A and B are shown apart, each in its own frame.
Chain A
Amino acid sequence: MAAVLSSVSDTDCKKLCHRVVDSLCGQTPIHKQILSCSNQEWLDLLNFLTSLFHKTVAENHSEDKVLAELSEAGVSQSGIVLDVLRSRKEEIRQSLLDRTLSISSTTLQDFDWQLKLALSSDKIASLNTALLTLSLDVRENGVLKPFSIELNRKELAMLITSLENANKVLLQLKG
């Protein structure tokens, strides 16, 4: 798999490795850049690099071990991969930590809120109640699901207190 790397020029290799790290850190996935290889080879290379970076950072491998893995690639290419690894180690570690943090089956991805003032309803002429629309993007087993909830002032206070209690428990665990 790494043999494909040896056919790539140094600058391209560097760019490719950095893009792989970017996609590992959660940014947009990369498109095929090396035209001289087949699609299968390209996918294999991507998988190889991703798992290499992943394993090296997660299990804290030494550089010699990485070089042994890269024995099929050229000397300069493996040097470049090492450079990339050295410069992005902290970032990869951070993103892996984030992944470990969202260990449960359902995690909150994004949340957004809008405040609305209901002036009246179909029965009451003057209502003047503030309503909060809370939209949650929840990732459940890898699938993104949007939820939106409308809360009035009392319900919002309830939600906030329960969240605060959860935070307290978390702090106790930490302390």
Chain B
Amino acid sequence: MEEVDKILIHALKQIGTEVSEETDSIKRFTSELIVESVVKCIRVIDPGLGSALPTSLPPGMSARFRVGMMLAQACQDIGYKGEIGYQTFLYSNEPEIRSLLMFLVEKLPRESAEASDQPTGKSVVLQRAISAAIKAQLAVPWLPPNCRLPLHYATQSQETLHSFHVQPLSLPQSSGKEHLKEVKDYQRDILLPITAQLSSRTCLVASVLEQHTAELSAAQEWDNEWNSQGLLSRLTPQEYRSRKLTRLHKRIEDQLRSAALPSSESAFGVSHATSDLSELLQSFSGSTHSDHILTKGSHFTHTQKFTFTQDTTAVTNPIPTVRQSEGDALLRQQEELTSLQQQFQQLCSHVSQLAADMKHTNVTNAQVMDELKKREQANSEKEEKILVKKKTIDLLPDTDNNLLKLQAVVEASSKRVINLATQWEKHRAPLIDEHRRLKEICSTQDLESSRKLSEIKSLHDKISVSTEEAKRKEEMHKQLVTELENLPQDASRAEYTQRILEIVSNIKKQKEEITKILCDTKELQKEINNLTGKLDRTFAVTDELVFKDAKKDESVRKSYKYLAALHENCNQLIQTIEDTGTILREIRDLEEQIEVENGKKTVANLERILDDYKAIRQENSALAAKIRDG
């Protein structure tokens, strides 16, 4: 029972009952303490019901009775089924109080248990954290600026509300040219720490965050691209990058040129913008060392640009002269304007004419070039023909001889050709074999490499999957840790569980013993039954034998009588033993009952009841006297 009492007292202390250190069991509870703890319990369980109850006993006897009645009623309302009345509180006995307190403590709402049953998730934890933070901030009172402590600056100061401004930072790059001496010198001597690089300290966090995010997102993008496309291209990262760079350059050039050309031909007015664009294009291509691609495309735009710039200088020159005479400024301006416009139109028409001429000449030039090439080809063919014919004419005089010679030459050459062909065959066969072999090797290598590529890809996938899983698990771990920290620190929990386990093992042991004893009892019963049966049978047989002889012999008849008497006496003896056993059991039961009754402190309680009764009578008589006096 000590364990139960400790748990009960612990629970009562938790809800705010002041239990002193000396009271370590229910037996030592005074009436006041009982009333206080019961009222506290009821208040926690049902605040509406408990608010009407006083936590301490009043001095007057009749008032005490009333409080006791009210408490009993409240307990019954909550659902206590045991016997309860004012006497439970005023004239307490240990088992009743214990069962009442156990009932009440079990009824106490378990906040922690309910909290842990709630669905747990990241968002729930976040929401809880947010609500806790807001609650804490709301709890802090507002103060005028001069009275603020550092505690208040976090929420009430205006200074913390900076907008997000980023400034570029200069950081030592960890890649590439660290070995350069100048770079090292710069990083060691000149480079300021980032806190000193910025104009205001408020930008610091924003700038650092921005830099980090930019680098991180760039790295992630590259990683993604490399895994999805770069690996399949079977190039090293540098090769892949350079190829992509050239491809991009080409693409941008194409785009810009296609945008620049039509507009420059269609309208003269926008040629300034387009010439800017082509300039840009040129500078751009200059960095890639491919000037020749562009020069032919922007040739025309350049001429346009030159004429136009000349034009603008012509316009700007007369301006100062206008200022000299302000009287007829307007007239002169208009004149100038018209003349300039005329000039401009002239120039425009001139330019367009020139452009048309140029186009025309370009086309004719190309045609002429083509013709020239054709003529040259025809020329060379004719020259060859002439050479052959010249030789045949030279050979004509000595025909027969020359014919023979020619035949010999032809035969020799054909032989040589055959010879060469056989030789070629000889060489060719091994070469073809070699070629085939190499091809096969190539294809196997291809297969191998593609297999490895797919392996690498699957590995990448696996890596990403497992990293995600690891992240998830880590988050879960974190969450669980926070939850664990948030749980109420019930120090005696482990102790309780251990005790419960001990108790369970004790009960098991006891159960085993009980079963053992039961077995023993059964065996004994069996033996007894056995023996009784044997006895009965033996008696029956003996009875029959003796009875047969008894008719004949007097002495045998006497012995038969003795036998019957013996049997009867023995039966009586057994009966008596059994009776003794039952009586002993009864005695034990009664002793237990006496103990229980003694535990109820009946005598003391009776005495107290008598005292209280006397006190009430006194109160009553005093009241009656008052009435009479009044």
Interface residues of A (CB under 8 A from B): 14-15, 18, 22, 25-28, 59-60, 83-84, 86-88, 90-91, 95, 109-112, 135, 137, 173-175
* Prevailing SS type, chain B contact patch: helix
Which residues of the other chain, A, contact B173 by a CB distance below 8 angstroms? Answer: 90
Q: Which chain B residues (218-250) contact chain A, with CB distance < 8 Å?
A: 229, 248
Closest 4 CB pairs of A and B: A112-B164, A87-B182, A26-B168, A87-B186
CB distance from B608 to the nearest CB of A (A): 59
Whether B186 contacts A84 by the Cβ 8 Å rule is yes
Q: Within the assembled complex, what's the spacing in Å between the Cα atoms of A109 and B165?
A: 8
Q: Which one, A15, A109, A174, contacts B190 given CB within 8 A?
A: A15
Closest to A90 in B: B173
CB distance from A149 to the nearest CB of B (A): 14
Q: Which one, B165, B197, B199, B286, contacts A137 given CB within 8 A?
A: B165
Q: Within the assembled complex, what's the spacing in Å between the Cα atoms of A26 and B167?
A: 7
CB distance from B279 to the nearest CB of A (A): 13
Q: Within the assembled complex, what's the spacing in Å between the Cα atoms of A52 and B167?
A: 23
Q: Within the assembled complex, what's the spacing in Å between the Cα atoms of A84 and B181?
A: 11
Whether A59 contacts B283 by the Cβ 8 Å rule is yes
Q: Within the assembled complex, what's the spacing in Å between the Cα atoms of A15 and B189?
A: 9
Whether A112 contacts B182 by the Cβ 8 Å rule is no
Q: Does chain A have a CB within 8 A of B546?
A: no
Q: Which chain B residues (151-208) contact chain A, with CB distance < 8 Å?
A: 163-168, 170, 173, 176-177, 180, 182-183, 185-186, 189-190, 197-199, 206
User: What's the count of A-B pairs with C-beta under 8 Å?
Assistant: 58
Whether B186 contacts A18 by the Cβ 8 Å rule is yes
Whether B248 contacts A25 by the Cβ 8 Å rule is no
Q: Within the assembled complex, what's the spacing in Å between the Cα atoms of A43 and B167?
A: 24
Closest to A95 in B: B168
Closest to B134 in A: A117
Whether A27 contacts B248 by the Cβ 8 Å rule is no
Q: Within the assembled complex, what's the spacing in Å between the Cα atoms of A98 and B188?
A: 26
Whether A111 contacts B164 by the Cβ 8 Å rule is yes
Whether A110 contacts B170 by the Cβ 8 Å rule is no
Q: Within the assembled complex, what's the spacing in Å between the Cα atoms of A150 and B396?
A: 105
Interface pairs (18), CB distance under 8 Å: A14-B189, A14-B190, A18-B190, A22-B170, A22-B197, A25-B170, A27-B170, A83-B185, A86-B183, A87-B185, A87-B186, A88-B186, A110-B163, A110-B164, A110-B206, A112-B164, A173-B251, A174-B248
Q: Does chain A have a CB within 8 A of B287?
A: yes
Whether B182 contacts A86 by the Cβ 8 Å rule is yes
Which residues of the other chain, B, contact A59 by a CB distance below 8 angstroms? Answer: 283, 286-287
Closest to A103 in B: B280
Whether B182 contacts A83 by the Cβ 8 Å rule is yes
Q: Within the assembled complex, what's the spacing in Å between the Cα atoms of A129 and B386?
A: 99
Q: Within the assembled complex, what's the spacing in Å between the Cα atoms of A175 and B222?
A: 12
Which residues of the other chain, B, contact A18 by a CB distance below 8 angstroms? Answer: 186, 190
Known: A86-B180, A87-B183, A174-B248. A60 touches B168 (CB 8 A): no
Which residues of the other chain, B, contact A86 by a CB distance below 8 angstroms? Answer: 180, 182-183
Known: A18-B190, A59-B283. A27 touches B182 (CB 8 A): no
Whether A135 contacts B163 by the Cβ 8 Å rule is yes
Which residues of the other chain, B, contact A83 by a CB distance below 8 angstroms? Answer: 182, 185
Which residues of the other chain, A, contact B206 by a CB distance below 8 angstroms? Answer: 110
CB distance from A99 to the nearest CB of B (A): 11
CB distance from A79 to the nearest CB of B (A): 10
Range, interface on chain B: 20 to 34
A95, A110, A137, A175 interface centre (most CB from chain B within 10 Å): A110
A28, A87, A112 interface centre (most CB from chain B within 10 Å): A87
Whether A112 contacts B167 by the Cβ 8 Å rule is no
CB distance from A174 to the nearest CB of B (A): 7
Q: Within the assembled complex, what's the spacing in Å between the Cα atoms of A26 and B163?
A: 19
Q: Within the assembled complex, what's the spacing in Å between the Cα atoms of A15 and B198?
A: 17
Closest to A18 in B: B190
Q: Within the assembled complex, what's the spacing in Å between the Cα atoms of A112 and B205?
A: 13
Known: A14-B190, A112-B163, A174-B248. A28 touches B198 (CB 8 A): yes
Q: Within the assembled complex, what's the spacing in Å between the Cα atoms of A174 and B229?
A: 13
CB distance from A26 to the nearest CB of B (A): 4
Which residues of the other chain, B, contact A111 by a CB distance below 8 angstroms? Answer: 164
CB distance from B164 to the nearest CB of A (A): 3
Q: Which chain B residues (80-122) contact chain A, with CB distance < 8 Å?
A: none
CB distance from A17 to the nearest CB of B (A): 9
CB distance from B225 to the nearest CB of A (A): 8
Q: Within the assembled complex, what's the spacing in Å between the Cα atoms of A83 and B286?
A: 25
Closest to A60 in B: B287
Q: Within the assembled complex, what's the spacing in Å between the Cα atoms of A87 and B199?
A: 23
Whether B170 contacts A91 by the Cβ 8 Å rule is yes
Whether B177 contacts A90 by the Cβ 8 Å rule is yes
Closest to B255 in A: A173
Which residues of the other chain, B, contact A27 by a CB distance below 8 angstroms? Answer: 167-168, 170, 197-199
Q: Within the assembled complex, what's the spacing in Å between the Cα atoms of A60 and B285?
A: 12
Closest to B229 in A: A175
Q: Within the assembled complex, what's the spacing in Å between the Cα atoms of A91 and B191?
A: 13
Which residues of the other chain, B, contact A90 by a CB distance below 8 angstroms? Answer: 173, 176-177
Closest to A89 in B: B177
Closest to A135 in B: B163
Whether A28 contacts B287 by the Cβ 8 Å rule is no
Q: Within the assembled complex, what's the spacing in Å between the Cα atoms of A90 and B167?
A: 18
Which residues of the other chain, B, contact A88 by a CB distance below 8 angstroms? Answer: 186
Which residues of the other chain, A, contact B165 by a CB distance below 8 angstroms? Answer: 110, 137
Closest to A94 in B: B168
Closest to A112 in B: B164
Known: A14-B190, A18-B190, A90-B173. A110 touches B166 (CB 8 A): yes
Closest to B184 in A: A87
Which residues of the other chain, A, contact B166 by a CB distance below 8 angstroms? Answer: 109-110
Which residues of the other chain, A, contact B164 by a CB distance below 8 angstroms? Answer: 110-112, 135
Which residues of the other chain, A, contact B177 by a CB distance below 8 angstroms? Answer: 90
Whether A25 contacts B163 by the Cβ 8 Å rule is no
Q: Within the assembled complex, what's the spacing in Å between the Cα atoms of A87 and B248?
A: 28
Which residues of the other chain, A, contact B182 by a CB distance below 8 angstroms? Answer: 83-84, 86-87
Which residues of the other chain, B, contact A22 by a CB distance below 8 angstroms? Answer: 170, 197
Closest to A88 in B: B186
Q: Within the assembled complex, what's the spacing in Å between the Cα atoms of A28 and B173?
A: 21
Whether B168 contacts A87 by the Cβ 8 Å rule is no
Closest to B164 in A: A112
CB distance from A8 to the nearest CB of B (A): 15
Q: Which chain B residues (572-614) contact chain A, with CB distance < 8 Å?
A: none
